[in-house]
Amino acid sequence: MDVLTVENELRQVVSRLVTQVELATKQGKLDINLALEDALIPILKELFHLPKLHNLNAKQKNFPGIDLGDEFDRVAFQVTATTDLEKIKKTLNVFIEKNYQSNFDELYVLMLVKKQKSYSQLSIDKIIGDVFTFNTNTHVIDPGDILAKASNLRVTAQKRILHEFKLILGEIDGYLALRESTTELPRAYTTNLAPISFPNTVYVAQLTIVKKEVFERARAELGYKGRRSSDMFLCVRLALALEGSQFSAWTFHDGKLFTFSNFDDHTALMSIVDKGSIEELDSNELYDSEYVEYENVFKSLLQGQVREQVKDYCIGFDMFEKQYYFQPEDKEQISRKEKWIGLKAAQRTVFERVESKKEPGKVAHFKHLSFQLTFVKIQDQFHAMIVPSWLYTYNTHRRSRFHDKLVSKQKGLENNQAVRNLTRFVSYFLAQMDAQLGESIKFEQLIQLAPEENPLSSDDNVEEEAEV
């Protein structure tokens, strides 16, 4: 994916995001900024070089005046869908009243929709005096300013930001869909949100591994050739591999390992933690915590559990693209098809070996159906938001150097119906997985928002397996 393609896609995604926020605002859903605060953090970290940026509500619910902050680099953000001068003045009044200038040197007001052409600096100066510096031309920003800053980054960084914006757009779509009025709709509407259920107990223990020792052993015993990294997730993976385990259903935070699995049932896990520190938590102690970071820990644990569950179904996880993908069931398989039921029984090709047109008999690449899962909590229910895509590899598990161009070409051939069918297929497949009692996640079918008695519209009755 070249620079021009990434920038064009960024503009399209951000434009749609602004439209959706404007729609939510017009409908009176003024709390949409609350739904987006955490989602914006990775983007702002990248653009403003703020590695310690976090949601201030993690420290105190409904933190007054500002939403995000980095106390180390002393920068704060107020996130809002309101664009008038009064909102800025109110924010600054609270900022000074609470003496936040003692912790932050800069404040940005990030508007989720297009800001006004200008704001009265004189009105602002009357509020802040010489206590604080706030320039309306610099410190009032909107999605257009975000795009402008992103355009100055390397294409790899732009790709990361594009990925985050796509996740944000999905969260907005889910937010709006599940807050629609209960008025009967004229046609059926299926979201890409699948309700999930999960274990009630999370096991936690203090890690005992030493990074230096793990990396030295990994080089000697596993042939690991990478550098010693500060990435503790990598360190834990290597520590488990040294014990002969590829177990994925865990996450790490603040020196502790979190898992749905009882440590007594996993020798490898038990070998890297302090046995005396093991404790049990109710799942809701994490996802309902007043600290946002613990909800994020829980979401990370859900991802780890899914990665472990799908292994039995020949589905891998690409760390670079952060997506799951269908693998061949054996090395000789040329094409893999899976049965599913939409409007009728059908088959879906989820993997195929593609031969070179220039050199018949030689493999050009392998094509895998893939999907991303983002876990969101809406109205006291966790959902898996499913976003289908494609992964192209040169050896069934490493990305082809032509991956970006091939994905762009494939998506150019797909219409909304094709994407919806892919989403429904992935949802069906996940829902059919055998969820073992105890530590598994169970997926349900996608949410239907229309009344049950409404028939499907005419365009729903096309052939389910119309592949392109």
pLDDT, tens digit, for every residue of 327-369? Answer: 999 989 999 999 998 778 899 999 999 999 888 889 999 999 9
Closest CA to 106 of 32, 58, 53: 53
- The mean per-residue pLDDT over the stretch 283-297 comes to 87
3-state secondary structure of 263: helix
Distances (CA, A) of 199 to 96, 202, 281, 365, 422: 45, 8, 11, 39, 28
- pTM higher than the cut 0.85: no
Mean pLDDT of the chain, nearest integer: 84
- How many alpha carbons lie under 13 Å from residue 343 in its C-beta half-sphere? 14
Q: Domain residues of the chain, as ranges? A: 3-177, 189-199+312-468, 201-282
Is residue 446 a contact partner of residue 190, using CB atoms and an 8 Å limit?
Answer: yes
Range among 31-40, 189-198, 238-247 rated most confident: 238-247
Quick one: average pLDDT of 210-234?
87
pLDDT in tens, 139-183: 999 988 998 888 888 888 888 888 788 777 766 666 555 555 444
Pair of tokens at residue 142: 């909107």
Q: How much is the average pLDDT of 371-383?
A: 87
Percentage of residues of the chain with pLDDT beyond 70: 85
- Order of all β-strands in the sheet with 106-111: 54-55, 68-70, 75-80, 106-111, 140-141
DSSP state of 207: B
Residue 85, pLDDT above cutoff 90? yes
φ and ψ at residue 283, rounded to 5 degrees: -55, -40
